[in-house]
Structure 1
Amino acid sequence: MGPFGSNIKVETFVDSGVPIISGNHLRGLYLDELEYNFITEEHARRLSNSLVRAGDIIFTHAGNIGQVALIPDNCDYPYYVISQRQFYLRCDKKKALPEYINYFFHSRVGQGKLLANASQTGVPSIARPSSHLKGISVVLPPIEVQLDWFETVRPMLQILNGNNKENKRLVSLRNMLLPRLMSGELSVADLSR
């Protein structure tokens, strides 16, 4: 589970350090490496139960429930802290590949099981998220079959990841150039050079 809200406040943010994962980062299959808020390394060590890394699957249990994303192997940071509305699953890779479990929770069946214990009163939330997650049964083929499946889909996932990174680069370029174009500081003729 993520830390109590009082452990991560705006006053604790710093310019760089350990990034905090929020629901904004859980919009697709993989962690969306957008802009982060950061806390210091020392502060992150005090929140060691909320530290996550590549291969962990992050879930939102309050607010936009049903969000699920895997931290990919080629993530931007060695570790992260999850916010108070998240919880995570770390797979025993001898039994289950994180990619397989991530796809399960993105499926209609997986989303149904994840949201089966949801309350829509007030802020949507999953009651007892850790206990609920532990109680969800997943049909797991033998690890060898999961590895074969992953070898088949890995090239497609690499293309997907590459496209996502390129899209982020293009959005950043657009965000840098568009204000300059709109203000007249830069013209379209200048861009062709």
Structure 2
Amino acid sequence: MLLPPLVGVINKNLLQQIMTLYNKLVKNSDWPATTIHDIAEKVAMGPFGSNIKVSTFVPKGVPIISGNHLRGYFLEEPEFNYITEEHADRLKNSSVYPHDIIFTHAGNIGQVAMIPDGCKYDRYVLSQRQFYLRCDETKVVPEFILMFFHSTYGQHELLSYANQTGVPSIARPATNLKKILFKCPPIEVQLEWKAQVSPLIGSYINNRDENESLASLRDALLPKLMSGEIDVSNIDI
């Protein structure tokens, strides 16, 4: 069992390895440039604010993704707000699934995270401040596009459409995302790259999830220990 500070160090190192392999693939290559529009199956926005209100939340159902879940490279799953399945069905254009890449377009702009395989729910719904890219996986590997948007160049391109007046926001997010150019290796080359990085990604997500489970257990047990509800006086050390 890894201690939380050590998990952070290990996961930072894993992300650095993944990005290094991405940079190695695209650096000094003659791969053709293509646009996000050319490799997108779909780019769509979250719902209007009036479509999801606090009054529509339910204890269990389809989880709503907000910026709080997009702090890293892959969707983080602390506590969610939920809407009913029926409500989510009416917002199907804002429903997202594993392999979709989620962006924040207002507030903490620059956030980019992918929904990985093995997540807690079959589908999610975006909040009003998010939009998403669904890749055509016959053309690109979603993890490759994720690394592009976490690269210095990819972040620069995304934030080049930012409006800093008032709440930071990306102007016409869906339209402008489609304009962004990137180096696009052949899909066969991307799949070889994915085979290299998949074990690293798997380790990163497993470490993070274990760390979150330990933190939840700590938060549940500590008040009981402090109140004396759990008696540890008879435990031999």
TM-score bin (small chain):
over 0.9
Q: Deviations over 1:111-149 (max 9, x none)?
A: 110100101110000000001100001111000110000
Aligned twin of 1:165:
209
Match of 1:24, SS state, is helix
Q: Distance in 1 between matches of 2:109 and 2:57?
A: 25
Query: Taking CA–CA contacts closer than 8 Å with sequence separation of 6 or more, which of the two structures ends up with the larger relative contact order?
Result: 2
Q: Structure 1 139/180 Cα, relative in aligned 2: closer, same or farther at 3 Å? A: same
Give the Å deviation of 1:188: 4.5
For residue 149 of structure 1, what is the aligned residue in structure 2? 193
The aligned length equals 193
Code of the residue aligned with 2:168 in structure 1: it is P
Residue 131 of structure 2 is aligned to residue 87 of structure 1? yes
Of 55, 67, 73, which aligns to 2:111?
A: 67
Which whole-Å CA distance do the structure 2 matches of 1:73 and 1:18 have between them? 17
Cα shift readout 1:135-187 (whole Å, capped 9, x = no counterpart): 00111100011000010111111110100110110011011011112223224
Structure 2 counterpart of 1:22: 66
Query: So what's the TM-score if we normalise by structure 2?
Result: 0.79
Equivalent runs, 1:1-193 vs 2, <5 Å: 1-189=45-233
- CA drift of 1:33 comes to 1.0
C-alpha change, 1:105 and 1:185, in structure 2 (3 Å) is: same
SS in 2 for 1:84: coil
- For 2:193 and 2:236, the matched residues in 1 are separated by 45
Structure 2, unaligned runs of 5 or more: 1-44
SS at match of 1:90: strand
Secondary structure class of the residue paired with 2:102: strand
- One-letter code aligned to 1:110: G
Return the alpha-carbon distance in structure 1 between the equivalents of residues 102 and 136 of structure 2. Answer: 15
List gaps (5 residues or longer) in structure 1.
none
Partner of 2:24: none
- Distance, in Å, in 1 between the alignment partners of 2:88 and 2:219 is 31
Q: Deviations over 1:26-69 (max 9, x none)?
A: 01110001111000011001111100000100000000000000
Sequence identity (%): 64
Alpha-carbon distance in 1 for matches of 2:152, 2:235: 46
TM-score normalised to the size of structure 1? 0.96
2:136 maps to a residue whose letter is: D
2:84 alignment partner AA: T
